[in-house]
Amino acid sequence: MRIPNITPATNIFTYSVGAMKRVFKPSSQASAVPTAKQFAEMSCRLQNSDQIEYKKMLVHEIDEVNRILFGRIRNFTISEYENLTEREIDCLNEVVNKYLYDNPLEGNLAENFDRCLVYTDIVAECFKKKLDSMYGAGNYVFIPIGRSLSTIGKSLGYKIGEDSIKQLPISNAKRFLNLEKCNEDFDALIKYLNSIGLSKKEIKKSGKHYIFADYCDTGRSLRGVKNLLTSDRIYGNSDNLHFEDVMEFLSDVLPKKVPSECVPYKYPDFGADFKSMLAWGHFKKYSLSDKCYSLNETKNMVIKPEKYEYEMNLFLFKLLDNEMKQRKRLDLVA
């Protein structure tokens, strides 16, 4: 696959005095040489213009990767990754690096991206450790609610089996605290749950534990989901349904300090820093689903976000790429 070339950022933002003079057209009464203020104003206008052009070229390059490669790795599964060639994997990594580290338009994008990758993997490992100890490996299904834990669920799937992860794209679930006043299409939700292997019959006969998890601020949304799913309209009461707040559930297994390879977002304590990132929605940008305020929106599976689709695709690829490379290193050690 051929990746289109992008003009290097160092060339885009290099302007000569001669170029400025050619662009600036003085009146007959004005000096032929622009003043310092006029020069600065023109420099700003040219830079803004070239930033737009740079972004267009950058988006075009990612569009090419989306079209050619992400058409083959649509769901970011292990089997899809294994069918990519080494050259294709290198191309994807090249675009990630270009987007993150050679991009003069996005500020600290690379720092946030890398931190989210590392934290996602760490928290997924913590979930695995805690859930394995409570229910036994292979004896549970993990269902992130909404967007906050969506990518953490994806990462956990690489570690415990992708079939053991489901996504429940529900936003603002506190409205389900009073179902009598809730005018929603419950049949659409049931249809969606059935389509992903979470039918009432399947949950009862499997003997597994089903862990619905979310980040809680007030806790009302998690209580709303519990109230909805344990109602007679959906599952009814069941001993194998569990509803967990991520911070409370993992409080005894999260690491104490932020890893040395990461710049903390706000705090050196990992738990506090992770919670702060959740509260400010850092992980939502890479979520597999967009906001979903109506149960009717769930019927077509997870709704992929449009605003951050590029970042989501690149993030999910790197999450999978890191996992597969880590496996290869462990295989070599073994």
Q: What is the pLDDT of residues 96-109, one digit of tens each?
A: 887 777 766 555 67
Q: Burial of 231 by CB count in 10 Å (0-12 exposed, 13-18 middle, 19+ buried)?
A: middle
Q: Show contacts of 221-226: CB within 8 Å, 24+ apart.
A: 221/145, 221/146, 221/172, 221/173, 221/174, 222/145, 222/173, 223/174, 223/177, 224/173, 224/174, 224/175, 224/176, 224/177, 225/145, 225/168, 225/170, 225/173, 225/176
pLDDT band at 229 (very low <50, low <70, confident <90, very high): very high
Q: How confident is the model at residue 298 (pLDDT cuts 50, 70, 90)?
A: low
* The predicted structure's pLDDT at residue 4: 39
Query: pLDDT tens across 25-60, in order?
Result: 333 444 444 455 554 554 455 455 566 666 666 667
Q: Is-contact 222 243, C-beta < 8 A?
A: yes
CA distances from residue 198 to 51, 154, 191, 204, 246 in whole angstroms, order as listed: 47, 17, 10, 10, 21
Is residue 291 predicted with pLDDT exceeding 90? no
Read off the pLDDT band of 247 (50, 70, 90): very high
Asked whether residue 226 carries a pLDDT value surpassing 70, the answer given is yes
Most confident of 43-47, 65-69, 88-92: 88-92
DSSP letter for 257, please.
B
Q: What is the mean pLDDT of residues 307-321?
A: 85
* 227 token code pair: 């109230």
Q: Domain residue spans in the chain?
A: 9-101, 109-303
Whether the predicted pLDDT of 241 surpasses 70: yes
Q: What is the pLDDT of residue 27?
A: 39
* Mean pLDDT of all residues belonging to the chain: 81
307 vs 56: CA distance, rounded Å:
16
pLDDT at residue 66, as a whole number:
66
**Residue, of 167 and 98, whose pLDDT is higher:** 167
| pLDDT over threshold 90, residue 249 | yes
Lowest mean pLDDT among 91-95, 134-138, 195-199: 91-95
Beta carbons within 10 angstroms of residue 18's beta carbon: 8
| Residue 262: partners with Cβ closer than 8 Å, 6 or more residues away | 114, 115, 118, 119
Residues in the chain: 334
pLDDT band at 307 (very low <50, low <70, confident <90, very high): low
Q: 121: helix, coil or strand?
A: helix
User: Is the per-residue pLDDT at 301 higher than 60?
Assistant: no
Average pLDDT on 162-186 reads 91
How much is the pLDDT for 230? 96
Residue 18, both tokens:
């001669």
pLDDT (mean) for 77-103: 86
- Stretch among 2-6, 62-66, 148-152, 271-275 having the lowest mean pLDDT: 2-6
pLDDT category of residue 128 using cuts at 50, 70 and 90: very high
Percent of the chain with pLDDT over 90: 49
Q: Are 246 and 255 in contact (CB under 8 A)?
A: no
- pLDDT at site 14: 31
Least confident interval from 66-75, 112-121, 284-293: 66-75
